[in-house]
Amino acid sequence: MLILATIMLLVSTARADSPDCDGSPSPLDNTFLTVGTLNMAHGRKDAHNQMFLSEERIRQNLAELATLLDRANADVIALQEVDAPSWWSGKFNHAEFLARQSRYHCLVHGIHASNRIYRFGTALISPHPLQGQQVHSFQPSWPTTTKGFTRAELAWNPGGRLDQPLKLTFVSVHLDFSRRSVRRAQIDEMTRALENTEGPMILMGDFNTDWLSEGSSLKLLAENLGLRAYEPHAEGMATYGDESARLDWILVSPRLRFRRYAVYPDVVSDHYAVAAEIEWAEKP
């Protein structure tokens, strides 16, 4: 039987020397929220392997990524393959670099895979203080690296229309790429960890699977948690390289509705970034 590993271990909260990330924030009152997700490929951009790049080149790649993220003008962005100081990718913290180089000064960075060569995981970054931070590392999946998810919350009162603000949960997740059986086990862990979440949820990340495959793990996860995807059967939504695979997704609770949805064509990784505007639905 799999043992849940929902822990606050190997998690860093960076504020990029910004006092705005401290304390209890006031609820956001935007009519809609803008969110996004990207697997940032350890800062290598379109290179084959980050180990053959200089620290200067990786910093340049991340500076270009920061410009793209700023252009998105998002409230929360989910990131995957985000490195802490690692031998194979410049020996500096990529999440903290992005926080300093962009408007997203507040972040929570969970480390799921760690050895002498690398330390990396998932992250959530935002211009707003993030509350209720939590990291979950999945059971090890040798020979592939351990994956997991990072979770945080924001209070939101859309347009000031509600009597009480919503506690909105954001999740950045990365699932195993190699085996459906491993992804299924990871989805079981996610379901148990998130099924009792209070309030609506926005779940984003690299799921390493699409909606249309037989026995889709992504579709199963959405069904388990009662989440919806944007036009899951639509064409022209590929997010992974030249394989035309839609691996990166944004899933939302029924009381949330997609206002806009787009895949960015900018080459900042071997994945393309996805962004969406999310609004409150009066009826699910």
Pick the closest to residue 125 from 32, 50, 18 (CA basis).
18
- pLDDT tens per residue across span 87-138: 999 999 999 999 999 999 999 999 999 999 999 999 999 999 999 999 999 9
Helices (H) and strands (E) in the chain, counts: 4, 14
Q: Which residue range is the domain that position 258 belongs to? A: 6-280
- The CATH code of the domain that includes 77 is 3.60.10.10
In a domain, residue 60? The reply is yes
In a domain, residue 1? The reply is no
Look-up of token digits 């609004």:
279
In a domain, residue 82? The reply is yes
In a domain, residue 244? The reply is yes
Residues 160, 29 contacting (CB under 8 angstroms): yes
> Of 222 and 9, which is predicted with more confidence?
222
Tell me: pLDDT of 2 over 60. no
Q: Is the previous residue joined to 127 through a cis bond, with omega within 30 degrees of 0? A: no
Size (the chain), residues = 284
Pick the closest to residue 40 from 59, 65, 15 (CA basis).
65
In a domain, residue 61? The reply is yes
In a domain, residue 268? The reply is yes
Pick the closest to residue 199 from 226, 174, 179 (CA basis).
226
In a domain, residue 226? The reply is yes
Tell me: pLDDT of 29 over 70. yes
- pLDDT tens per residue across span 192-250: 999 999 999 999 999 999 998 888 999 999 999 999 999 999 988 999 976 679 999 99
Letter string b/e over residues 79-111, b meaning 16 or more CB atoms within 10 A of that residue's CB: bbbbbbebebbbebbbbbbbbebbebbbbbbbb
In a domain, residue 161? The reply is yes
State the total domains in the chain: 1
